[in-house]
A and B are shown apart, each in its own frame.
Chain A
Amino acid sequence: MLSLESLLETLKTGNGFWNPVVWVVATAIIFLLIYILRGFGKKDYKKETGQTQAFLSGNPEYEKELMHVKSSNVYWGFTETLKSVYDVLKKMHNGNASDYVLWFLIIMAVVFIFMGLI
């Protein structure tokens, strides 16, 4: 049977340890402290005034639907920087079944070589 002690036991990872229950309790306390600190903040926030409007360097705000960044545009900078890597990877994933078999045979040959069989 599962006892409370075994449920709360710390996981030993060789050089470290991990106890999620302690982590959850600690996180909850931290959030509580943040919430209390937040209570000391200014209370003069006014809804539906200029305070809530987006400021786009004086430009008009687009329709909300147009403001949504599409998935393919997220991390554009990262993918653009790694363009050369992605060009190779895309060539690898060409969807050609015979190429899939070829990769399989190449890896088999490479492992044979490493194992000293060829």
Chain B
Amino acid sequence: MNWLAEIIKHSPALIVAVPLLGAFLTPLVGMINEKVRNIFALVMISITGFFIALLASDVYANGPRIYVFGAQNLALPVVRILFEVDSLSIFMAIVTFILAFVALVYSWSFMKENDGLDKYYTLVLLLVTSTLGMELTGDIFNFFVFLEISCISSCALIAFWVHKGEALEAAFKYIVISSIGALFVLFAIGIFYAQYNALNIATLANVIQFTFLDKIALVLLVVVLGMKAGLVPMHMWLPDSYGQAPPSVTIVIIGATQASLYGVFRMCFTLYSGAFKNVVISESTIGLIIIMLAILTILIGVLMALIQTDFRRLIGFVAVAEIGYIFLTIGVGLVTLHDPNMITVGKTAMNGGIFHIINDCLDIGLLFLSAGAIYYATKETSLNEMGGLARNMKYTTIFFLIGLLAVSGIPPMNGFASKLLIYQSTYQLNPIISIVAILASIMLLAIFVKVFYSAFLGPKISKFENVKEVPKSMLIGMGVFACIIIFFGLFPNIVIHHLVEPAVNVLMNNAQYISAVLGGV
């Protein structure tokens, strides 16, 4: 059908344009009434999801799709931006859509009593736009622009409960560290432009020489994006922000954090992959540095989570530890992929890492939503003050239990499958890394046993006698995550074959990415 082909052709632009348009129209629609505004935001996200689904079917069937904004003719001194959507980009877009959709469904009841919801929905849609933009763009300067939009909208959302001083403080810290990081990204982009007169990732990947300046740019990009993703010891902003933002948007902020992680994958395996081929030592060096930081991230994440008494801050530290697992796979990939004898190890690690991205979003997301449900019902965030809530909140208890089993990597949940791939691949590189990763997972289980016991079990507490289960929209939000977690846990092969492996293949073969742009436009 021609119309369908036309829609698919313009999908890369529409995926970003629809939530952006939705963001600016939301205050206007909000003037009609609140219900219409909420439905409007949900419809805009659903339409975005529809375009993502169409584009995904096309990308998985026909390979990367290029979309050109601006001049088509390269011969002229032109202004143009490319979107290049491959299996990795569309995988990340699917993750972002799931998070955004659930966030909006959950927000319906969770944010009902709050003021300024027009701004809230505008900011959520802007954050989704920026995250999708970072994931779909093929232009490094454009990536920076979306990164900045993401920083600003995330900051405003973290500070949304402005009446709480802590929220404002967390937002301030976030914007300080993010702005400084973004400036370093801009500096790295300047280095590329000065040397190669290009900003397109594929063009840069084709000509990059791994000069002294390129090495500087690599360090700047990896460190900044690592910081944005929550790599220890640059992670301190993350528990502050995750702990203070409304839980309904924390999951969208998690999506934005994962987009930074996507940036690390893209820079290391697409932009610099060709350059690394000539300088193996540097690839291994940066890989080993990432592995060391990843181990530190996992250990400090779990150790700090263990002593937290604030529910959401605790989950924030667990999120840090989970990020460590993904960085571990990046490091293992960089160390092993250039060695023909170790390439299988590298591929297994990358499969585990990419699969863990979606699992991490779902598991941590479900835990945050459960924490939000408890806050909604009890107005309490301190674990010391909680107890016996399983009597009053049966569904939330079940959802939390699913989340805790998944994040601790207990079979048959989704976290087990991805962590198994990570353990196996790291074991073959160095068994000690694998042992640390397994021990950290056991500690995660111990942490959540404590949380489960403190919050849900134990005797009835008199002040919670009248506590009721949360409204349906919040239960639906948590239910969606729980269903996907169980499905991914029971049938991991489906996800790995259809979503993860194509993304890993793209990362392992940057020639496909380069030729799609240079040979296709």
For B511, what are the chain A residues with a Cβ–Cβ distance below 8 Å? none
When chains A and B are docked, how far (Å) is the Cα of A107 from the Cα of B223?
7
Known: A65-B461, A108-B220. A103 touches B348 (CB 8 A): no
A18, A67, A79: most-surrounded residue (chain B CB, <10 A): A18
Proximity bits, A100-117, B CB within 8 Å = 1, else 0: 110110111011101111
Establish whether residues A74 and B307, one from each chain, have CB atoms under 8 Å apart when the complex forms.
Answer: no
- B361 at interface (Cβ–Cβ under 8 A)? no
Question: Would A11 and B300 count as touching, CB distance under 8 A?
Answer: no
Q: How far is the CA of A21 from the CA of B234 in the complex (A)?
A: 40
Indicate if the CB atoms of A71 and B384 lie closer than 8 Å: yes
Q: Is the CB of B492 within 8 A of A115?
A: no
The yes or no answer to B491 lying at the interface (CB within 8 A) is yes
Please name all residues of chain A whose beta carbon is closer than 8 Å to the beta carbon of B169 when the two chains form the complex: 95
Binding-face segment, B43-51, B127-135, B151-159, B171-179: B171-179
The answer, yes or no, to whether B289 is at the interface (CB within 8 Å) is yes
Give the contacting residue for B459; candidates A64, A72, A100; CB below 8 A. Answer: A64
Structural contact, B417 and A11, CB atoms closer than 8 A: yes
**A70 surroundings in chain B (CB, below 8 A):** 383-384, 454
In the complex the two chains form, is A20's CB within 8 Å of B451's CB?
A: no
**Of the residues A71, A82, A92, A100, contact of B237 by C-beta under 8 Å:** A100
Q: Does B497 contact A (CB under 8 A)?
A: yes
Contact in complex: A6, B177 (CB < 8 Å): no
Would B348 and A14 count as touching, CB distance under 8 A? yes
The answer, among A20, A79, A104, for a CB contact under 8 Å with B492, is A20
Within the assembled complex, what's the spacing in Å between the Cα atoms of A92 and B450? Answer: 24
- Shortest Cβ distance from A78 into chain B, in angstroms? 7
Q: Does B471 contact A (CB under 8 A)?
A: no
Cβ of B293 under 8 Å from chain A: yes
Task: Tell me if B102 counts as interface (CB < 8 A to partner A).
Answer: no
A1-41 near B? 1/0 per residue, CB < 8 Å: 01000110111011110101101100000000000000000
> B181 and A93: CB pair below 8 A?
no
Beta-carbon contact of B307 and A79 below 8 Å: yes
What 0/1 pattern do residues 228 to 256 of B give for CB contact below 8 A with A? Answer: 00010110110010000000000000000
Contact at A82–B493, with CB atoms within 8 Å? no
**How distant is B222 from chain A, measured CB to nearest CB, in Å?**
7
Whether A93 contacts B177 in the complex (CB less than 8 A), given A9-B493, A13-B424, A14-B428, comes out as no
Contact of B215 among A2, A23, A117 (CB under 8 A): A117
Pairwise interchain contact A115-B446, C-beta atoms closer than 8 A? no
Contacts of B489 in A (CB 8 A): 20
How far apart are the CA atoms of A111 and B282 in the complex, in Å? 11
Q: How far is the CB of B321 from chain A (nearest CB, A)?
A: 13
A residues in contact with B490, CB < 8 Å: 20-21, 24
Name which residue of chain B comes closest to A105, CB basis. B180
Q: How far is the CB of B297 from chain A (nearest CB, A)?
A: 11
Contact B491 A7 (CB under 8 A): yes
A104 and B177 within 8 A (CB): yes
The smallest C-beta distance from B181 to any residue of chain A, in angstroms, reads: 7
In the complex formed, the residue of A with least CB distance to B423 is A13
Establish whether residues B420 and A97, one from each chain, have CB atoms under 8 Å apart when the complex forms: no
> Which residues of B are found within 8 Å of A16, using beta-carbon distances?
420, 424
- Give residues 184-233 of B contacting A (CB, 8 Å): 184, 212, 215-216, 218-220, 222-223, 226-227, 231, 233
B425 & A14 in contact (Cβ 8 Å cutoff) = yes
B437 on the interface (CB 8 Å rule)? no
- A interface size (C-beta, 8 A): 50
B431 CB within 8 Å of chain A:
no
User: A67, B459: Cβ atoms under 8 Å?
Assistant: yes
| Inter-chain contact A117/B177, CB cutoff 8 Å | no
Q: Say yes or no: A64-B173 contact (C-beta < 8 A), given A13-B420, A14-B424, A15-B428.
A: no
- A110 surroundings in chain B (CB, below 8 A): 289
Q: Does B387 make an interface contact (CB < 8 A)?
A: yes
Tell me which residues across on chain B come within 8 A of A103, comparing CB atoms. Answer: 233-234, 236
Q: List, in ascending order, chain B residues with CB within 8 A of A2's CB.
A: 494
A111 near B219 with CB under 8 A, answer yes
Which of chain A's residues 61-94 have a Cβ closer than 8 Å to chain B? 64-65, 67-72, 74-75, 78-79, 82, 85-86, 89, 92-93
Specify which chain A residues have a CB less than 8 angstroms from the CB of B180 in the assembled complex.
101, 104
Within the assembled complex, what's the spacing in Å between the Cα atoms of A39 and B142? 67
Contact A101 B177 (CB under 8 A): yes
The one of B216, B234, B446 in contact with A107, judged by C-beta atoms closer than 8 angstroms, is: B234
Which residues of B are found within 8 Å of A106, using beta-carbon distances? 233
Do A13 and B421 form a contact, CB below 8 Å, given A74-B454, A103-B236? yes
Collect the chain A residues with CB atoms within 8 Å of residue B387's CB. Answer: 68
The smallest C-beta distance from A107 to any residue of chain B, in angstroms, reads: 6
With contacts A64-B459, A103-B234, A104-B227 taken as known, whether A71 is within 8 angstroms of B421 at the C-beta atoms is no
From 31 to 65 in chain A, residues with beta carbon under 8 angstroms from any chain B beta carbon are 64-65
What 5 A-B pairs have minimum CB-CB distances, sorted nearest first?
A64-B459, A71-B383, A20-B412, A71-B454, A68-B458
Q: What would 25 A/B residue contacts be, using CB atoms closer than 8 Å? A: A6-B493, A6-B494, A11-B420, A15-B424, A16-B420, A70-B384, A71-B382, A71-B386, A74-B450, A74-B453, A79-B306, A86-B307, A89-B300, A95-B236, A100-B176, A101-B177, A104-B177, A104-B180, A107-B223, A107-B227, A108-B220, A111-B222, A114-B289, A115-B282, A117-B212
Give chain A's interface residues, CB within 8 Å of chain B. Answer: 2, 6-7, 9-11, 13-16, 18, 20-21, 23-24, 64-65, 67-72, 74-75, 78-79, 82, 85-86, 89, 92-93, 95, 97, 99-101, 103-104, 106-108, 110-112, 114-117
- Known contacts A69-B453, A79-B307; 6 additional CB pairs below 8 A are A70-B384, A71-B382, A72-B383, A100-B177, A100-B234, A115-B215
